Amino acid sequence: MRRFAGFFLFSFLLILAGCQKEFSTETSNNLSSGSLQNDLTGDCLPKVVSGIYEKQVPLDGLTNTIDVTVDVQSTGTYKILTDTVNGFYFSATGIFTSTGVKTVTLKGEGTPLADGIANFTVTYGTSDCVVSVTVLPAGGASPAVMTLAGSPTICIGYSISGSYIIGKALTSASYVDIQVDVTTAGTYSVTTPVSNGFSFSGTGAITTTGTTTIRLYATGTPVTPGPTNVPVTIGTSSCSFSVNVVSGATFTVSCGTASVDGDYIAGVDLDATNTVDIDVDVTVLGGYTLTGTINGMTFTGSGEFTMLGTQTITLDGTGTPTNSGLFNVPLTGATNSCTFEIVVFPAGKPATGTWLFTKAGVGTPFSGGVTEAVFDPNFYSPNLYFYFYGINPGTGDQILVELVDASGSIQTGDVYTLSSMTGNTGAFTFVGATDDFSADPTITGNTMKITITNHNVAGRIITATYTGKAEDANGVLQDITGTFTVNYQ
């Protein structure tokens, strides 16, 4: 899927969304709906793998488990399972009685056939993510021999993740990766003493010798602010690492200032471009975690406020949007409650066709083929939404044309005024090797109009012309004339 900054008409489509239908998350047969949470690489996020896995040793279904995180959109029964890899698999069934982010434990069944790394795909509804499980050689489930890097004083090469705030229970998002030197491969089970109301623990297997890291997850609730020294012991070696515990900040969030970046398309994973900048007003310094979850997406920002007053923080988006539509993301973690809007667009379908246009005074036209289109009468009901995306493989030139039809049907003779906020409107966006052009209701002076010369409904073919002024990359209005033909699915 392309990544094209500013591709969609976030600004004026949000205005049109006032007449959008509500998107129901109810499902038939009382099935729940929602999505698995994952990181930018597709790994389940967060996840915890428990138990020892050894070649030719059956799983016990009790200690051999994996925990995954699910954003539940509607209540009902659920079945979450993995594929069968190397002779074993994981599954869980039950009932979600409330919505929101849940942790589900999947029990392992079967017998590992070979040692090594087994990569499982976890599936829930239409969403999936990946969990890796290490299988030891036969007879290899004896304790590993290893020492902590930095023993006997300060641990070397450790990395702390998560937020540690007074009075807030820690989750699997809080952990330490700690460096060890392995002389004999095998299993490990490590638990630190409780320090300042919390501790770290982890179990697993190491299949190679040398320097590596193990992950210990935090549990408990921090009590006192400041650096907390956490001792850890493995065998005869010991060292300690420091965790900074902070007081909880007091702040309000202004959802009206939310600035959303990135593309949001149903079924397409969010990446590093999907962020939200939002203003907060801090009255008491300290740590913070601001989170919003909806429709398979989670937006999170955490850290420590070191100055009072109004400031901007960034929320990072993860997950995969489940449905298209307009969604109000509820934020938690501040002293007030509010929501900001995210428009998730329908996933494009393969299409064919051609596009061509010329800029006044330039003899050589820009042109290319159509590769993707959406024709959706329900997305902005009662406004029909249509777009096509095209590219010239030789030059890399890209075009996107969007139409919003106020009558709910695109007909021969319809005219779309790209400067209008109401009625039949749309947008024209072109990013090329030598020129960029844009025309939409947010651009002053744009006079672009798109006229449908023919809509073959049975054949699903739209032919149109477009003409008028569009803004180039330097903010100068240029006269544009062109045509397109799109065969959509």
The CA angle 162-166-168, to the nearest 5 degrees, is: 65
Residue 164 counted as domain residue: yes
Whether 64 and 50 share a structural domain:
yes
The pLDDT, as a whole number, for residue 152 is 93
Give the pLDDT band (50/70/90) at residue 40: low
Residue 435 counted as domain residue: yes
Residue 260 counted as domain residue: yes
Single-letter amino acid code for the residue at 465: T
> Sheet holding 338-344: strands in order across?
250-261, 275-284, 309-319, 297-305, 286-294, 325-332, 338-344
Q: Among residues 482, 460, 233, which one has the least CA distance to residue 360?
A: 482
Count of CA atoms in the C-beta half-sphere (13 A) of 115: 15
Whether 327 and 400 share a structural domain:
no
Whether 90 and 181 share a structural domain:
no
Q: Among residues 239, 231, 333, 218, which one has the least CA distance to residue 282?
A: 333
Whether 47 and 32 share a structural domain:
yes
Chain segment 424-441, per-residue pLDDT in tens: 999 999 988 888 999 999
The pLDDT, as a whole number, for residue 1 is 33
Whether 294 and 354 share a structural domain:
no
Whether 352 and 332 share a structural domain:
no
Q: Calculate the CA 256 to chain-centre distance.
A: 22
CB atoms within 10 A of CB 137: 16
State the sign of the Cα–Cα–Cα–Cα dihedral 46, 51, 57, 62: negative
Burial class (CB in 10 A: 0-12, 13-18, 19+), 135: buried
| CATH, residue 425 | 2.40.160
Domain boundary among 110, 135, 160: 135
Whether 372 and 469 share a structural domain:
yes
Give the pLDDT band (50/70/90) at residue 27: very low
Lookup: tokens for 235: 């065998």
Residue 473 counted as domain residue: yes
pTM over 0.85: no
Residue 10 has pLDDT above 50, yes or no: no
Residue of 318 and 355 predicted with greater confidence: 355
Whether 233 and 291 share a structural domain:
no
Range of the domain at 337: 250-344
The pLDDT, as a whole number, for residue 122 is 94
**N-terminal to C-terminal alpha carbon distance within the chain:** 17
Lookup: tokens for 365: 């036209």
The CA angle 347-349-351, to the nearest 5 degrees, is: 145
Whether 181 and 305 share a structural domain:
no
Residue 471 counted as domain residue: yes
Chain segment 331-372, per-residue pLDDT in tens: 998 999 999 999 888 888 899 999 999 998 877 899 999 999
Whether 394 and 451 share a structural domain:
yes
Residue 7 counted as domain residue: no
Whether 228 and 323 share a structural domain:
no
| CATH, residue 281 | 2.60.40.10
Residue 5 counted as domain residue: no
| CATH, residue 225 | 2.60.40.350
- Cα 447 from Cα 405, distance rounded (Å): 18
Bond before 227 cis per omega within 30 degrees: no
* Number of domains composing the chain: 4
- Cα 278 from Cα 114, distance rounded (Å): 50
Residue 15 counted as domain residue: no
State the sign of the Cα–Cα–Cα–Cα dihedral 57, 63, 68, 74: positive
Domain boundary among 113, 135, 157: 135
Range with the poorest average pLDDT among 11-15, 117-121, 228-232, 394-398: 11-15
Chain segment 44-82, per-residue pLDDT in tens: 876 788 888 989 999 987 889 999 989 888 888 899 999
Domain boundary among 344, 363, 395: 344
Whether 185 and 261 share a structural domain:
no
Give the pLDDT band (50/70/90) at residue 86: very high
